[in-house]
Amino acid sequence: MAAWAGWGAGPAGAGAAGGPSRWFLVAALVASGVVAVVLLADGRWVEGALAGAASVYFGLRASGVLGGRGGGS
């Protein structure tokens, strides 16, 4: 268990470096939006809805509504 100490939680965890940049979040937003459109056009409603939900999530993160830093650069 000691090998995992500090990984994933707390001040020394995976988010200690500050999290994803706003550019990464915008790229993820665009990519998940494109995937959602393609899946919905193909008639795969569940998968398209899931990709659409991911797009909404990344949009909220990029705009600073979700997350602690306000979507910093």
Q: How many CA atoms lie within 13 A of 65 on its CB side?
A: 6
At 2-40, the pLDDT tens digits run 555 545 555 555 555 667 889 999 999 999 999 999 999
Spatial distance between the Cα atoms of 48 and 61, rounded to a whole number of angstroms? 20
The pTM of the full predicted model, rounded to 2 decimals, is 0.69
Q: Where are the domains of the chain?
A: 18-67
